[in-house]
Structure 1
Amino acid sequence: MRKILLIISISVSLLVILFSCTNIPTLPQIIPADPEGVVKPDPSLYNDLQVYISSDKTPFLVPISIPDYVRVKISVPEISNLTEENLKVFEDDKAQGFLVFKESETRSNIDIMIVLDTTGSMDNAIEGVKSSIKNFIDTLEASGLDVRVGIVPYDDAAPAKDITLTKPWQDLTDLNTAKNFVDELSAYGGGDFPENPYAGIMYAWNNASWRPSSQKIIILITDASAHYKSEEYPGDAAGETLYDKDEVISAIQGYVTVHGAFVPGWYNESTTDYTSPDDPREIVQKTGGIIKYTDSSGNVDLTTLGILEYVQSSWIIAFESDSPSATHTIEVFIEKDGRKGYSKLEDISY
Structure 2
Amino acid sequence: MKPLNHVDLCFVIDTTASMSSFIHSAQQQLLNTIKVLSADNNIDLQIGLVEYRDHPPQDHSFVTRVYPLTAKLQQMQQVINQLRADGGGDGPEAVYSGVYDACTKMKWRQHSCRFILLVGDAPPHGFGTWLREMTLETRKYHSGDAWPDACPSGLNVQSVTATAENHRVIIHGLCMSGDMLAQQAFNVIAQITGGQCVAVSNAKDVIDKIVAVLQNEFSNLEFDQKVLETVQQIGHLDTSYTAEILDMPKLPVAAAIARLGKRGFLD
- Which residue number corresponds to residue 13 of structure 2? 116
Whose strand proportion is higher, 1 or 2?
Answer: 1
Q: RMSD between aligned alpha carbons?
A: 4.1
Alignment of 1:1-350 (within 5 A): 23-24=1-2, 107-140=4-37, 142-143=39-40, 144-157=42-55, 168-173=65-70, 174-228=72-126, 235=146, 241-253=153-165, 255-267=168-180, 274=184, 279-296=185-202, 299-302=205-208, 303-314=210-221, 315=224
Whether the 8 Å CA contact 1:124–1:297 is kept in 2: the answer is yes
Equivalent residue letter for 2:195: G
Q: TM-score by structure 2 length?
A: 0.66
User: CA, structure 1 residues 283+190, in 2 after alignment: closer, same or farther (shift >3 Å)?
Assistant: same
Seen in structure 2, the aligned counterparts of structure 1 residues 236 and 176 have a Cα distance that, compared at 3 Å, is farther
Between the aligned partners of 1:261 and 1:308, the Cα distance in structure 2 is 15
Using a 3 Å threshold, how does the CA distance of structure 1 residues 194 and 147 change in structure 2: closer, same or farther? same
Higher helix share: 2
Paired with 1:187 and 1:142, the residues of 2 have a C-alpha distance of 30
Q: What SS does the corresponding residue of 2:86 show, helix, strand or coil? A: coil
Structure 1 338/107 Cα, relative in aligned 2: closer, same or farther at 3 Å?
closer
CA contact (8 A) 2:115 2:172 kept: yes
For residues 7-46 of structure 1, the C-alpha deviation after alignment (integer angstroms, 9 at most, x for no partner) is: xxxxxxxxxxxxxxxx44xxxxxxxxxxxxxxxxxxxxxx
* CA displacement at 1:189 relative to structure 2: 0.5
How far 1:290 sits from its partner (Å)? 2.8
- Give yes or no for contact 1:194–1:227 (8 Å, CA) kept in 2: yes
> Which deviations, in whole Å up to 9, do the C-alpha atoms of 1:327-350 show, x marking residues without a partner?
xxxxxxx99989997999xxxxxx
> Quick check: which has more Rg, 1 or 2?
1
Residue 169 of structure 1 and its aligned partner are, at CA, apart by 2.6
The separation in 1 between residues aligned to 2:213 and 2:73, in whole angstroms, is 19
Query: Deviation digits for residues 137-166 of structure 1, max 9, x if unmatched?
Result: 3335533421110110001149xx6668xx
TM-score between both structures, scaled by the size of structure 1:
0.52
Gaps of 5+ in 1: 1-22, 25-105, 321-333, 345-350
**Structure 1 Cα separation of the partners of residues 196 and 172 of structure 2:** 5
What stretches of structure 2 of length at least 5 have no aligned partner?
131-143, 238-242, 256-267
List structure 1 segments (4+ residues) > 6 angstroms apart after TM superposition: 236-239, 316-320, 334-344
- The size of the alignment, in residue pairs, is 219
Is the Cα contact below 8 Å between 1:151 and 1:171 reproduced in 2?
yes
Q: Which has the higher contact order (CA 8 A, sep 6+)?
A: 1
Instruction: State the one-letter code of the partner of 1:251.
Output: T
- The answer to whether the 8 Å contact 1:137/1:179 transfers is no
